[in-house]
Structure 1
C-alpha cells in the first residue's frame, strides 16, 4: 500500500488532513515539553518536569540555575563589594571607638552610633547568604537575619532621631524630658522596636517558614532553584515593618531638621532615610519584573546600596570632621552650632 504522505521524522507527529483519505496526513512539530523519538509517530510523549526536549526527539535533564560562584562572575563581584564595605564600616567603627571621647562622637550618642555601625557591618555580611545553592538553612536565614539586623539599624536611627528632639526639649529649665534621654531609656526603646521584628520572624518561621524549591514552570529550558518565602502574608508584614520604621524615621528627622542641632544630625538622618526609602521603593518594581538569579541580584543590590546610603549620609561627615577638620571637633564649636 502506498502512502500519499512521507513519514514524519523524529520530533514530529502525524495529524490527519480533514476531508482527505486517511492515508494522507501532515507532520506537526511536537509541542513545548514533548518529544517524538520514533519516525511516523501519531502522538508525542510529554517529558517529566525535571527534563526538557532536546531537539524534540529525546528528554534530557534540565540544567539547574542559581546564583553561584562557579558559574557567575557577578557572584564573585558582589561578594568582593560586600566584603570591602564590611571592612570600610569596620574602619569607621574603629575610628569612632578611638575618638569616642571627642565632642563630635559624644554629641551624637556613642552607644547608638556603635550599634548602627555593627548592624551595618552584619547587613553587608548577610549578602553572602544570598549566594550559592539555596538549602533549607540558608532559606531560613536569608531574609530573617537581614530583616532583624536591618530593623535594629532602623530602630537605632529612629531612636537617635527621637533623642535629637527630646534633647532639645530637655535643655529647658525644669523639663521632664531629661529622664527620657538617659541611656537606659534609649536602649529600652531600641530593644522594643527590634523585638517586634524578632517576634514577627518567630511567628513566620512557626507558621510557614521559607524553604528551597525547584521551580520547573518558570522556564522550560532549566530548573530554577530558589527560596520560597512560605507565607506571603508573614513575608509582607515582615517587609512592611521595616518600611514602617524607615518611613517614621524619615518623617521625624524631616520635622526636626531645623532644630538647633549639633552637627546637623537630623539633616543627615533625613538624607540617609531618603536614600534608604528610595532604594527600597525602586526595589519593588525591579523585583517583580525579573526572574531566577536576577531576583537575588536585585535584593543584593538593594541591601548594599541602602546600607551604603546610611553609612555615607550619617557617618562620612563625622569622619571628615574627626580626621580632616579636627579644629571643628571642639566643645566651643559644638556649643556654637547648638544655638
Structure 2
C-alpha cells in the first residue's frame, strides 16, 4: 500500500526495479494513480495492475468552450493569462520589450491547442469544486427565496439570511444527473471510482475506471464493477497447465518464460507456482495431474522373479534325484560309510533351503515377511548342523581305524542326532525372540525412488536379523575349520576335502552377500538375498553329493569297502 505523492512513488518504483522486487499487487492513492507522468520505462512497469479508489471524475458543462475562448484582451490585468499565452504560442505580448521572441499577433486561438490547461477529460477535484459552488449557490437561493411557512425547519420558518449556519440542508441534481445532498452531519454520500493502472500502446501508464463505490445506493449495490476486459499481456502468453512462470531478468513483470514443472510437481491451472504431489503420488508426463506411484516388488511374473523360481524348483528336483539315488544304493559301502542318516537329513534340509527361497518372491504380507526370514534361518542352520555332524563323523571315523581307538562311542548316532537338534533349536529360539520382540513387517518405502514405491519387508529388529545370520556364519566357520583340519587324511578319505570346498563356497557367497545386500536398491535387495540362498544351497549339493553320485552311477567298481577304506594288499 503506497499512500504517497507521485514523485515519491516514482523513486520507490525505480529502486524496487533495480532490486528486482516484482510480482507485488499495489494499492495506491489518487495522488499517483491518476498521474500521467508514469511510463513503462525506468521501472514504472512494476506498478502495472495497481488498484485504488479515487475521487470520481465529472463533466462541467461549458468549461471546455470557456477555456478555449479565453484571450489576453479579456483579462488585461491578469499576469497568469499573459504568461500562459506567451508560453503556449511562444510569443511576447509586450511590444516595447527588446527580446528575440516574436510579438503576438492577437489572432492566436486556443481552439486547437491541446495542453494540460485545456484538457477537461478527467476532472476530479475540479468537479468537486464545481459541485461545492453549486451547493452553496442552491443553499443561498433556498434561503433567499424562502417564504414564511414554507421553510425547511420543523417550525416551517425561514432563517435570517444574515445568520447562515453550515448545517443547513441542500438537495439538488447536477446537469449530468448526479444527485447532491447532505446528511444530518452535513456530509455528502461518499462516491469513489475504482482505478486500475494499465499500460497503453503509447508506452504510458493510465488509470482505467473498472468500477465505482456509491454509498447513496442500497447496501448490496454500493460496489459496482464495470464489464471491462482484463488486460492481456502482450509480452508473453499465459503458461499452460504443467508449466510455471519464470520472470525474464531485466524485463517487465509481464515478460516471463514458461518452464515445465519439476518431476513430482504439477500445475493444473494457469499459475505462477507448481504444487508438490502427495507422498504416494507422482506427476504424469504433462505435469498437470498427480497419479498414484507404481508399487514395485519382486514378482513371479517378471523375468528376474521367474528365473529365481525356476532355479529354486530345479534345485528341489536335483535334490530329490540325489535322494533317490542314495536311497536306491543305501546298502552300498559308499552310502553307508557316509553316515546315511545324516546324509538323508542333509538332503531334506537342502530341499527346505531351496523351497524357502520362494517365500522371498511375491507381494510381501505380514505373515510372509515373518516366514521368509525365520524359515531361511532355521533351514540353513539345520543344513549346516548336518554338515558339521558329517565333518565330525569323518574325523572320528579316521581316528577309529587306529588299533585300540574307541572314539566313536563318544559320537555315535544318538550323539549326532542330539547335536543337530541342539544346534537347530538354538536358532529356533533366536527366531522366536525376534518374532516376539520386534518381528519383520511389510513396509512401503518411498525414500529409495521418488517416482515409485518399493513394497518390501522391514527387518523390524535389525539385531534379530544379524543374530540369525551371525549364528549361521559361526556354524559355517566352525565347520570349515574342522574340515580344514582333516584335509591331510588319506586320499581315499576325501569327504573332509569336499566339505572344506563346500564351506569355502558357502562362506564366500555370504561374505559377498553383506555388501551387496546393503547397497542394492529396492526389489534387488530381495533378489540378492534369494540368489545367495540358492547359490549356497547349490554349492552344498554339488560339492558334497555330486562326486558320490558320479561314483555310484558311473564308477560302481569304486563303490566297494576295499576302495572306501583304502586298504590294499602288498
Instruction: Provide the TM-score with structure 2 as the length reference.
Output: 0.56
Give the corresponding residue for 2:409.
179
Equivalences, count: 337
**Aligned residues of 2:332 and 2:559 also touching (Cα < 8 A):** yes
1:276 paired to 2:516: no
Q: Distance in 2 between matches of 1:166 and 1:73?
A: 47
Q: Distance in 1 between matches of 2:475 and 2:430?
A: 14
Look up the SS of the partner of 2:352 in the other structure: helix
1:230 paired to 2:460: yes
Q: 1:146-189 CA distances to partner (integer Å, 9 max, x unpaired)?
A: 11001100111112112222223334455452322211111111
1:36 paired to 2:267: yes
**Aligned residues of 1:254 and 1:267 also touching (Cα < 8 A):** yes
Q: 1:251-287 CA distances to partner (integer Å, 9 max, x unpaired)?
A: 1101111123754100000111111111122222322
More helix by share: 1
Which range moved further: 13-22 or 286-295? Answer: 13-22
Please show how residues 98-137 of structure 1 align to structure 2 within 5 Å: 98-137=328-367
Q: Would the alpha carbon gap of residues 261 and 199 (structure 1) be closer, same or farther in structure 2, given more than 3 Å must change? A: farther
Give the corresponding residue for 1:86.
316
Which range moved further: 304-313 or 7-16? Answer: 7-16
Which of 293, 314, 318 is equivalent to 2:548?
Answer: 318
Q: Distance in 1 between matches of 2:262 and 2:445?
A: 20
Give the corresponding residue for 1:150.
380
Q: Which runs of 4+ in 1 moved over 6 A?
A: 17-20
1:115 positional shift: 0.8
Q: Distance in 2 between matches of 1:196 and 1:69?
A: 33
Which of 443, 448, 470 is equivalent to 1:218?
Answer: 448
Which range moved further: 151-160 or 167-176? Answer: 167-176
1:50 positional shift: 1.4
Q: Distance in 1 between matches of 2:567 and 2:535?
A: 31
Look up the SS of the partner of 1:282 in the other structure: helix
1:197 paired to 2:427: yes
1:235 positional shift: 0.7
1:259 paired to 2:497: no
User: Of the two, which has the highest radius of gyration?
Assistant: 2
**Aligned residues of 2:244 and 2:260 also touching (Cα < 8 A):** yes
1:7 paired to 2:225: no
**Aligned residues of 1:287 and 1:299 also touching (Cα < 8 A):** yes
Which range moved further: 74-83 or 199-208? Answer: 74-83
Q: Distance in 2 between matches of 1:32 and 1:197?
A: 47
Give the corresponding residue for 1:58.
289
Q: 1:29-56 CA distances to partner (integer Å, 9 max, x unpaired)?
A: 43442211111x1332221111101132
Q: Would the alpha carbon gap of residues 51 and 315 (structure 1) be closer, same or farther in structure 2, given more than 3 Å must change? A: same
Look up the SS of the partner of 2:488 in the other structure: coil
**Aligned residues of 1:260 and 1:338 also touching (Cα < 8 A):** no
**Aligned residues of 2:267 and 2:288 also touching (Cα < 8 A):** yes
Look up the SS of the partner of 2:494 in the other structure: helix
Which range moved further: 83-92 or 258-267? Answer: 258-267
Q: Distance in 1 between matches of 2:509 and 2:240?
A: 54
Q: Distance in 1 between matches of 2:281 and 2:237?
A: 30
**Aligned residues of 1:276 and 1:309 also touching (Cα < 8 A):** yes
Q: Would the alpha carbon gap of residues 197 and 117 (structure 1) be closer, same or farther in structure 2, given more than 3 Å must change? A: same
Which of 243, 249, 271 is equivalent to 2:479?
Answer: 249
Q: Would the alpha carbon gap of residues 204 and 227 (structure 1) be closer, same or farther in structure 2, given more than 3 Å must change? A: same
